Amino acid sequence: MTAAIEPGVAPAAEESAKLQRHFGRFDILFFLICTIVGVDTIASVAGAGGEAFTWMVVLAVVFFVPQALLFAELGSAFPQEGGPYLWTRMAFGHLAGAINNFLYWVTNPVWLGGTLAISAVAALQVFFNGGDAFSTPAVLVISIVFIWIAVLAAVLSFRIGKWITTVGAFARFLLLGLFTVSVVLYAAEHGFHGLGASSFAPTMGGFVALVGVLLFNYVGFELPSAAGEEMRDPKRDVPFAILRSAIASFLLYAVPILGILLVLPADKVTNFGGLVDAMKSVFTVYGGSVTADGTATLTGLGQLLGDLGAVLFVLCVLTSGVTWIMGSDRALAVSGYDGAAPRFLGVLNARLGTPVRVNVFSGIVSTLVLVLAQVITQGSAAKFFGAVLGVTISTTLISYLLIYPALWKLRRTMPDAQRPYRMPFHRPLTVLLMVLLAFTVLQLIAPGAPFAWFGADYRPDGWKASEAGLYLATELIPVLVFIGVGVLFWALGAPTRRANALLSSRPADEPDAVLAE
């Protein structure tokens, strides 16, 4: 594994020398909006009813804002490439970094080949196929093309790739702005047919059912820092971008979710196609009609705007996948040349400055997930969507259990590091984040525990009381497998760790040994 290393140059220094600085302040801002605002999960929140909006507001205060403050400090104080991986490794060592980083990375190709691809298919079905389902071969073809377009976008240098995420951010502004205006016009013409005020009352059962997807919607502030050495001025730009993206992202979530809840009849809000269905219904104000049973038909300008909305929706879900693949693939590549993954994965393209090998690896994993899930669910798109979303949420959130406390640990082990921004009240706020995260992970794996494990008020839809053991295995086994792969990656990275230790001025395992800038 070390035979190809240039004599006298450590793997970390060799690869980081290929990085190119193209990532400016507003590039980071638009990248974050694409990262955090996932239109594929808007319907999953709205489908839970009015209390979903209530809990979304509560968690914005107690989770979203503290998390933004935490990553504003980490991203500006430690702006090296690899961000979330590097912080974890610096705080807790290579083994913890390897396991955590694999959990962080693997969810993204699963998400790309799962919920994102199938959400794009849903939009195309509704607006371009008369609402009829595509055949399984057609779904596979559309989804595979979708996956590899995202991979190609991730392969491109940030000099070009950053414009893709900028377009994605403006697609969100246009889509959700058009939807919001249409909701107001629809309500003025037809009245409100959605939920009453009483449905917004919060309940514990609703919180358990919602907390996973809400926290999943609210994570991602750390992702641009995976490209820290490609930023022009991370110490200034990271806090700037995080603050503004937090405000914009909350509004981009809150307004359309409230619109769906107030306008669309409750029995028409589904996890799978809720936003797309709501778009079709409200766009009838421009041309079309809605029957007594809620079926919408678009004509004239309504059809034109519907088609535009579908294209914007697909662009939004595509750029969600692109940003997460761009960031998480860089973190995995850094772990490869830092000794926490196979050296083969830790190679950057000399011309593009991007981790092409990991990008292709992500595309292969996404394609396998897509094909396997379609076969297992026998082409049931809604079932496919729910199954993949559950695995993605649980694995993603578990990875933050070590990323968050890294701030606290690094405050102690590296007190002299320059911190242009410092998180206020970092101890109580970090504890709050950890408690919320730990409770959420517990509920994802064992809903209702410890007070009413798999009880009627906490059991996921579609599951029976007798299937508690099966559900537990479904949630635990993938996590245990991923942890095992992380340990394997750590073992395969041993030669690279030795090379870095021998060829660098300081041992690679020293807590404050960071990658060369």
Q: Give per-residue pLDDT as tens, 144-159.
A: 999 999 999 999 988 8
Amino acid at 201: A
| DSSP type of residue 447 | T
Question: Looking at the domain assignment, is residue 369 inside a domain?
Answer: yes
Please, are residues 426 and 411 in contact by the beta-carbon 8 Å criterion?
A: yes
Residues 6+ apart with CB under 8 A from 451: none
**CATH assignment of the domain containing 284:** 1.20.1740.10
Report d(CA 134, CA 145) in Å as an integer: 15
Largest Cα separation within the chain, whole Å, is: 75
The parts of the chain modelled with pLDDT lower than 50 are 1-7, 272, 383-384, 507-517
Please, are residues 248 and 95 in contact by the beta-carbon 8 Å criterion?
A: no
Helix, strand or coil for residue 298? Answer: strand
Alpha helices in 3-157 (DSSP H): 11-16, 25-36, 42-46, 50-59, 65-77, 83-92, 94-111, 117-128, 136-155
Amino acid at 289: S
Question: Looking at the domain assignment, is residue 509 inside a domain?
Answer: no
Helix, strand or coil for residue 346? Answer: coil
Cross-strand partners of 289: 297
Report d(CA 284, CA 281) in Å as an integer: 6
| DSSP type of residue 309 | H
The pair phi, psi for residue 335, each rounded to 5°, is -60, -30
Report d(CA 478, CA 113) in Å as an integer: 16
Question: Looking at the domain assignment, is residue 469 inside a domain?
Answer: yes
Alpha helices in 414-493 (DSSP H): 426-445, 468-492
Question: Looking at the domain assignment, is residue 512 inside a domain?
Answer: no
Question: Looking at the domain assignment, is residue 86 inside a domain?
Answer: yes
Question: Looking at the domain assignment, is residue 508 inside a domain?
Answer: no
Among 87, 99, 96, which residue's Cα sits nearest to residue 238? Answer: 87
pTM comes to 0.88
E strand or H helix at 221: none
Report d(CA 171, CA 317) in Å as an integer: 10
Question: Looking at the domain assignment, is residue 260 inside a domain?
Answer: yes
Integer CA distances (angstroms), 262 to 190, 193, 197, 469, in order: 12, 6, 10, 38
The neighbour count for residue 168, using CB atoms within 10 Å, is: 26
Report d(CA 484, CA 46) in Å as an integer: 36
The pair phi, psi for residue 289, each rounded to 5°, is -155, 160
CA 64 to centroid of chain Cα atoms:
14
Report d(CA 77, CA 431) in Å as an integer: 20
Dihedral angle computed from the Cα positions of residues 227, 232, 237 and 238, in that order, rounded to the nearest 10 degrees: 20
Please, are residues 395 and 106 in contact by the beta-carbon 8 Å criterion?
A: yes
- CA dihedral for 439, 442, 447, 448, sign (positive or negative): negative
Q: How many domains does the chain divide into? A: 1
Domain that holds residue 197: 11-503
Question: Looking at the domain assignment, is residue 3 inside a domain?
Answer: no
Cross-strand partners of 227: 81
